[in-house]
Structure 1
Amino acid sequence: MSALPMFRLRVRQVDQSCIFDLTGPNGQEISATIKYPEQLTELYQNWQLLYRRRYELQSRARVSSKGGSGTPRSYDWDRELRIAETTLLNEFSHWLGQADLLLIRETIQWEADAAIKQVKHGKTAIPSHVDVLIECSPTTLARFPWESWKLIPKDAPTETVRIARTCTPSIPATYSRFRQGKIRILAILAAAPDLNHSLDQAALLSLAPRAEIKFIRCQEILSTLKRGSHIAELKQQVAKAIADEQGWDIFIFSGHSDEEVITGGKLELAPQVTLSISEIEPQLQIAKEQGLQLAIFNSCSGLHIAESLIRLGLPQVVVMRERIQDEVAHKFLQQFCHSLNGYNDVCTAVLRACQYFAPENISYPSAHLVPSLFRHPDPKLNLFRLEPSSLKRIWQQWRPSRWEAIAISTISVLSLMVPVQELLMDVRYWSQAIYRQTTKQFPATTSPSVTLLQIDQASIDRRGIDAYKIKPMSRAYLGELVERLQQLQVKVIGIDYLLDASTNEDYVLAKAMQSAIQQQTLFVMASWQNDAGQKMRTASTLAKSNLVLHGDVGITGWDIMLPSQIGCQEECPFAYQLALAYQLQKIHPSSQFSGDFMSDLQNRINAQLEAAENTKQIGDLQKQVNLPLGLKSVIDFSLPPQRVFHSQPAWDLLERPLEDAKSKDLRQQVVIIASGGYDQADDNFPMPLAMHHWQSAKKQAGINQEKLQSQILPGGVLHAYTVHHLLTNHNLLQIPTIFFVGVAAIAGKGLQRIIRNQSTARQRRSLALILGATLAYGLGGLQTYVSLAIILPWFLPSVVVWFYLCLVLKRKK
């Protein structure tokens, strides 16, 4: 059933008066009587005469047309016709604008205003149309251009009130379901040498992607028939095609036609071969029962044809009330089919085709007054339209409005901006740290396998290192640290200093490293790729490249730096190399390396992958590579630092006795020698809020140096976190926010569609539930982070959902 408001207006002429009876969509009835002006008939007849003379050449009305008027072609018929049209429309509008019809006009306009407000307030997605069906008696009244009646409210869209014709049917309508898949169209092209059917065919073929079209070309049929029997045979073939058992959705006739009261109108299939509507009533009735929805007569004088077909129970009929020029008929059908292809209903398609012939189009004066749509008065009948595919229909229902598209685009761009990502992640880390501490959900307590040996300002001061030896860091001091670690039998040492340049102290560090390497210590040295793309590695004066591993110390945000592919064909990240070396030394602490150290290490890794009992330790680590689709593993700052690594100042290592228990524990550790946050360090980063929280929890504020460090996050801390995550297989997965923005847009649109038609009270309950669901999703996201190590974005997706809901609330107000 159609949801659009529909009025039915009966106009009857009784003597010198006209009675207007309006029936509204809710059953209301209004009547008015006004005097009929005789000059209106004269003005119409004058307009009709000028119209026919303007278009008498190449018209589609040869069935009963009379000879030409003999008027010279040089006469300016266009000008005279426009004057006659303006005069007729002014008088017609004046007649319908009388005060006696005010209540009828206001009733229709009030309904139109209500329909517009419903759409504006988001109560319905149905276009704001009000349909008025006009039935005129006698036929002389039906000839007037009722479609030009200005019933549209002020400032309303042109198609708010749509006027069509109707009449009282003799047979009820058939409620046929729309055909699944392609519609079926039957096109009868009359044998008329003076008409150019190729243009009509081209217009119909524009529907071919969505329609199965069968052309009955009368000229071709006649060429195959014998003279004498051709008339009956041609009529029989046309009638048989109309009653095809598969049925039709659209029937169209293109050719000559004319009015005839007794037979309901007649069609010229060929010269001297006419077919009346009464002759094919049985076939039309069969076609209607089998789903015929629309009949189009792109021919002249179809008023009686339309009325007879509506009386037969056909849902919709499109006709030309007057004679129609061949070129105008082509243009109408072209515009009509174009509008149908845009998934408009037949009423809108006729209106827009008429708008094409509006008065400003000087080539076709008065052509816009001729086409009419006749509709069956049953309000349960839907207007014919082409149905889009399922996917397209879904898109039409779910596609964002202009403001929705702007909002989604803006939020999507924000979600891709690095500063916004960093800000949101910083707040998320902080909230997760508080959540962990509140719920006491920490990983099982184990002693960290990583020690961060920090050269902080206190270490520099205690050692008395000169300022010019801080950057680059004194090789002699690094050598002392390495020597101390070698004395403690530490097997994996990472030096987070780029030692690419030679200094006069290199021999001290070189000697300490050589001694440690001889005791099977694995060194991972910092490397860096400069702006020119060149790899910067440890100077050869310190250690030969085949005796140490190199790891790229580059860091992107808070990401876990992983190789781009298995096997580290390019240089591995620094922390990844440390974790790999630690696992290898843990499995075979007495391994001997010879020849090309890097090549030999890689061979040992491959050998471990092949050994079933040892695959897991190294194999799992080696398989960790960068993820596709923007997914990435990130550092988990919600874990307190003391659960991730041991932190020890460099001065403490040198001053603490070798026999001390803390010193002895270093033998089983990965030791990273790194800066401790002094001013000249190159790898100082802003401290995340979560780390501030953990510092505050340990009450580490209060000392000036601690306050200074509380504002700085040394790069060594990031490497320590990364090594811990790799060794413990703690993979915190961050899903790109842009994915969830898209999901939130779909969810927001769906919720919007649900609540916009609800009452105010029910909307409030729905919004309260959605608010609770938003908070529950946020809380669930906190727990998912802890339990599944997955970061589900919350803030921007929630903004998207509530933007959609706020649009509904705004329209409601």
Structure 2
Amino acid sequence: MVYRLKIQQIHSVCLFELTWGRSQCLQAQVFYPAQLETRYQQWQRAYLNFYRQALRGQAGTAAPVEGEQLGEKTALRGRPGATGVAATPVDWHQHLVDAEGQLLLEFHRWLKQGELTDIRRTLSITAKEAPVDLFLTCTPIEIARLPWETWEIGAEYGGVPIRISRSPINIPVTATAPAAQSGKTRVLAIIGDETGLDFSGDRAALQSLERLLDITFIGWTPGQDATALRTAICQAIADPQGWDVLFFAGHSNEADVVAGHIYVAPNTALSIYELKPYLQAAQENGLQFAFFNSCSGLTIADALIELGLSQVAVMREPIHNQVAHAFLLTFLQSLAHHEDAHTALQAACRYLKLEQHLTFPSAYLVPSLFRHPDSVPFHIPERGWRQELRRWLPSKQQAIALGSVLVLSVIPGAQEALLSGRLLAQAMYRNLTGQMPTAPPEVVLVQVDEASRRRAPELVNISPINQEYLADLVDSLSRLDATVVGIDYLLDLPNPEQSQVLAAATRRAVGESEMWLIFSAILEGGREISTHADSQIISPNWAMAGYTNAPNWYMALPWGTETCQRECPFPYLLAAAAQASDSQAFPQPALTRQTSLRSELITTLLDSDIPSHQTLARRRILPVTTIGGKFRQRWLRPILDFSLPPDRIFHRVSAYELLVDTVDDETAEAIAQSSVVLIGGVGYVEGGVDPLSTDISPNPPTIAYWRQWKRDDSEEKTFAGVEAIAYDVHHFLQSHYVTPVPALWVVGIAAGLGAGITLYGIPQLNSSRQGLWLLAGATAGYGWLSFQLMIGTGLLLPWLLPSATVWIYVLPKIWRLPT
């Protein structure tokens, strides 16, 4: 949870304003005690006198301090001070310890004023439930100099201590999200004026992390031109390759007008104002964190955050050379363990407080971290395949959501529903864009429907179908020059009288018209059951039978082309016969044949070098489909493409029209020109090849859609198996194979894509609104791409589950972006 606390001093009163959430706010007014200012000045005087030699940050000659002897050498490194008159030695260490205690006592007493109770309670209660980041803004600068980081506000009511960061009063730009790093963390280390100082410790501390950091040092060398040095530093900061971290060691100081100076060479300074365009370029190129291991950096930090840099660590007071080394070393050790910058700064301060308090008293009060309120604390990312894998893994909540998506992607019922909806969307897209086949349908469907039953008394008992009625249909089709005729009725029950009539009709059709006759069958126990064995309706030497067993709305594919010589799908045989009827290279039906027609047809099809024949011959159930079948999955099995309207698949004619010679010229020509004529039952529950059940189903949503749009002559609420076979035959004839890519596979790809976008794409965005627009646009774009891909290539990509997967990964990250 993020809270912002603004403290503003107006004369003798301090205004406290706590804001959080959705415009929630608490305010308080507290009297600012003059005693607190006095205690701070006493502490600062003792601090400066203790660390009296060469305070890092003083560009000029150090002034003499109380107790300093002429030319006196101290154990602490520093720039040589001016000589003066000997003074009485003073125990500034004890003075500093006492001043620190008095300052903190007065400071915490002031913060425990009753007027601040609501603010303290609100923060503490929240800290019990979740980690709290408090962003502190102080004005004027005198208030900012106080050690606010020592305010243990969360512990007052039993909560955990709250992390306190600082931020400037003016933040005109949003924070740039950290870019994903592909290699080592890049560090630009600017080594400033070393007069009176020794930065070898800083260099060694940075170089100790070379396994994690790619460090570039730049700084003054004796004899170097000051202007050339300034130019080199500015150009290095704005390097297009970008930096993750900007480090400065040297002298610096505050300056209101130009936001502070850093001293890069003897008597040579650069102001933050001068560096502004280069720092902005660095920030655009990925700069995340700046560390000024130098003196008096309050105005520097304010200025850098206002420029848009996400976080800056500075020293609020002058800092001694040895303190700076000790702090830096501990800070970098924490970063090396992949702690974030805030945690590392706190760890370094604890080290100075608990382990170095005798050597470096009060030094822990000086460091501060300034952050943009929308920033994420900087850290050095872990490397190695385990760490990289961990970055790509979902959170616990995301894993639960992804698990639900994965379950839906393998449940057969859910997949059928989603596939049905996907085809409906595809049909709407085709209808909207007009992307329809223009060729006339190659299949004619002679439907034995209710109209035919009303006109034929012999069809009152429709199951089993009256074979004499079928004989009349075969004769009529023979007269109309039908070439390939498929009969979608199972005739396995004995009926000698009717079978004799039908047998005579089939022989006439083959003998007089060389008609290809294919009867439907069912596959049971590894053998096809079609016409009754004693009926002599057909002979395998001049007619064929094929099984209709196939999952609903999937194409009936052979297990292998060679196996088709033993058992073969009914639609496949119809398509093969249609291709054979146009080629003299294939065997043709004849009553005089003495060998199996189907065996020779399949053999010739395998040997043909005609592309359309080869395409049909190669079409079979894939091994991956067989493997998926063991898990009740239909991986890569082509489906019936109901996104094509029925009027582009087949031409309907009612059976009774053939028998009363009322066929119009258009229908007669369609039959004569057709590749396949199908005879089957439509619109009544007794239709189909299975006498114990029906292959009449409720309309698939896509078929219902086309019938609403008058793209089918039927107004039935049901869809017959023979209509599905017509689609199947069309797809074989046109080599129109629509293959759904398994949702499970695409969800897996989408999970990787979503994780990649989260890691590498989201950090490039500036706001949650931009992210939401891009996410919605990408989702819509993927939908359009999947529509066009199916039309162009026949690959049917799922849309809903993969899109949901990407949203599960990406949306939480987008919500965390600034608004």
Q: TM-score range by the shorter chain?
A: 0.5 to 0.7
- Which of 766, 778, 794 aligns to 2:771? It is 766
Distance 1:732 1:97, change over 3 A: same
CA contact (8 A) 1:169 1:312 kept: no
Q: Which residue of 2 aligns with 1:482?
A: 474
Question: How far does the alpha carbon of each residue in 1:511-552 deviate from its partner, in whole angstroms, 9 at most, with x for none?
Answer: 22233333533222222235x666433321233445432322
Distance, in Å, in 2 between the alignment partners of 1:386 and 1:553 is 63
Question: How far does the alpha carbon of each residue in 1:416-440 deviate from its partner, in whole angstroms, 9 at most, with x for none?
Answer: 3333333333333333333323322
Q: Which residue of 2 aligns with 1:585?
A: 581
Q: Which residue of 2 aligns with 1:716?
A: 722
Q: Which residue of 2 aligns with 1:539?
A: 532
Q: CA deviation at 1:400?
A: 0.6
Q: CA deviation at 1:662?
A: 3.2
Distance 1:490 1:177, change over 3 A: farther
Matched letter for residue 646 of structure 2: P
Q: Which residue of 2 aligns with 1:517?
A: 510
Q: CA deviation at 1:478?
A: 1.6
Distance, in Å, in 1 between the alignment partners of 2:596 and 2:577 is 16
Matched letter for residue 672 of structure 1: L
Quick check: 1:173 aligned with 2:165? no
CA contact (8 A) 1:173 1:378 kept: no
Distance 1:458 1:499, change over 3 A: same
Farther off after superposition, 629-638 or 476-485? 629-638
Distance, in Å, in 2 between the alignment partners of 1:436 and 1:156 is 61
Q: CA deviation at 1:688?
A: 2.4
CA contact (8 A) 1:563 1:572 kept: yes
- Which of 564, 569, 575 aligns to 2:559? It is 564
Distance 1:341 1:407, change over 3 A: farther
Secondary structure in 2 matching 1:634: coil
Question: How far does the alpha carbon of each residue in 1:347-402 deviate from its partner, in whole angstroms, 9 at most, with x for none?
Answer: 999x99xxxxxxxxxxxxxxxx99x9x9999999xx9x998554333322221111
Quick check: 1:685 aligned with 2:711? no
Distance, in Å, in 2 between the alignment partners of 1:170 and 1:608 is 84
Secondary structure in 2 matching 1:740: helix
Q: CA deviation at 1:345?
A: 9.8
Distance, in Å, in 2 between the alignment partners of 1:154 and 1:535 is 82
Distance, in Å, in 2 between the alignment partners of 1:416 and 1:792 is 15
- Which of 374, 392, 398 aligns to 1:404? It is 398
Quick check: 1:732 aligned with 2:732? no
**For residues 421-500 of structure 1, what are the structure 2 equivalents within 5 Å?**
421-445=415-439, 447-467=440-460, 469-500=461-492
Farther off after superposition, 659-668 or 476-485? 659-668
**For residues 206-355 of structure 1, what are the structure 2 equivalents within 5 Å?**
none
Q: Which residue of 1 aligns with 2:794?
A: 789
CA contact (8 A) 1:429 1:638 kept: yes
Question: How far does the alpha carbon of each residue in 1:791-813 deviate from its partner, in whole angstroms, 9 at most, with x for none?
Answer: 33223333333344543466689
Distance 1:386 1:425, change over 3 A: closer
CA contact (8 A) 2:646 2:712 kept: no
Q: Which residue of 1 aligns with 2:620?
A: 625
For structure 1, which runs of at least 5 residues remain unmatched after alignment? 1-27, 35-93, 122-126, 131-148, 162-167, 182-308, 319-338, 353-368, 610-614
Distance, in Å, in 2 between the alignment partners of 1:534 and 1:433 is 38
CA contact (8 A) 2:557 2:619 kept: yes
Matched letter for residue 410 of structure 1: S
Q: CA deviation at 1:494?
A: 1.2
Q: Which residue of 1 aligns with 2:806?
A: 801
C-alpha RMSD of matched pairs (Å): 5.5
CA contact (8 A) 1:507 1:541 kept: no
Distance 1:632 1:759, change over 3 A: closer
Q: Which residue of 2 aligns with 1:662?
A: 667
Distance, in Å, in 1 between the alignment partners of 2:41 and 2:527 is 93
Q: What TM-score does the superposition give when structure 1 sets the normalisation length? A: 0.53
CA contact (8 A) 1:575 1:722 kept: yes
CA contact (8 A) 2:427 2:644 kept: yes
Question: How far does the alpha carbon of each residue in 1:186-219 deviate from its partner, in whole angstroms, 9 at most, with x for none?
Answer: xxxxxxxxxxxxxxxxxxxxxxxxxxxxxxxxxx
- Which of 482, 500, 505 aligns to 1:507? It is 500
Secondary structure in 2 matching 1:465: helix
Distance, in Å, in 1 between the alignment partners of 2:446 and 2:736 is 23
Quick check: 1:694 aligned with 2:706? yes
Q: CA deviation at 1:103?
A: 7.7
CA contact (8 A) 1:169 1:313 kept: no
Distance, in Å, in 2 between the alignment partners of 1:393 and 1:699 is 57
Q: Which residue of 2 aligns with 1:607?
A: 607
Q: What TM-score does the superposition give when structure 2 sets the normalisation length? A: 0.53
Q: CA deviation at 1:675?
A: 0.9
Secondary structure in 1 matching 2:447: strand
For structure 2, which runs of at least 5 residues remain unmatched after alignment? 1-36, 44-100, 135-151, 165-196, 213-321, 348-353, 370-376, 626-634, 688-693
Distance 1:564 1:590, change over 3 A: closer
Question: How far does the alpha carbon of each residue in 1:728-778 deviate from its partner, in whole angstroms, 9 at most, with x for none?
Answer: 112223222333333333444445557877998x22133223323323333
Secondary structure in 2 matching 1:648: strand
Distance, in Å, in 1 between the alignment partners of 2:481 and 2:677 is 11
Q: Which residue of 1 aligns with 2:570?
A: 574
CA contact (8 A) 2:423 2:702 kept: yes
Q: CA deviation at 1:501?
A: 2.2
- Which of 399, 420, 432 aligns to 2:414? It is 420
Q: CA deviation at 1:587?
A: 1.0
CA contact (8 A) 1:170 1:313 kept: no
Distance, in Å, in 2 between the alignment partners of 1:310 and 1:561 is 81
Q: CA deviation at 1:714?
A: 0.8
CA contact (8 A) 2:444 2:670 kept: no
CA contact (8 A) 2:696 2:721 kept: yes
Distance, in Å, in 2 between the alignment partners of 1:128 and 1:150 is 11
Farther off after superposition, 470-479 or 423-432? 423-432
Q: CA deviation at 1:579?
A: 0.4
Matched letter for residue 745 of structure 1: A
Matched letter for residue 618 of structure 2: K
Distance 1:599 1:751, change over 3 A: closer
Distance, in Å, in 1 between the alignment partners of 2:342 and 2:777 is 46
Matched letter for residue 585 of structure 1: S
Q: How many residues align?
A: 525
- Residue identity over aligned pairs, in percent, reads 27
Farther off after superposition, 555-564 or 403-412? 555-564
Distance, in Å, in 1 between the alignment partners of 2:719 and 2:800 is 26
Q: CA deviation at 1:464?
A: 0.9
Question: How far does the alpha carbon of each residue in 1:206-258 deviate from its partner, in whole angstroms, 9 at most, with x for none?
Answer: xxxxxxxxxxxxxxxxxxxxxxxxxxxxxxxxxxxxxxxxxxxxxxxxxxxxx
Distance 1:690 1:153, change over 3 A: farther
Distance, in Å, in 2 between the alignment partners of 1:341 and 1:555 is 62
Distance 1:660 1:764, change over 3 A: closer
Question: How far does the alpha carbon of each residue in 1:618-638 deviate from its partner, in whole angstroms, 9 at most, with x for none?
Answer: 111111223447223222222
Q: Which residue of 1 aligns with 2:247?
A: none
Distance, in Å, in 2 between the alignment partners of 1:768 and 1:528 is 53
CA contact (8 A) 1:481 1:654 kept: yes
Q: CA deviation at 1:712?
A: 0.5
Q: CA deviation at 1:405?
A: 0.8
CA contact (8 A) 2:651 2:670 kept: no
CA contact (8 A) 2:471 2:501 kept: yes
Q: Which residue of 1 aligns with 2:652?
A: 647
CA contact (8 A) 2:587 2:597 kept: no
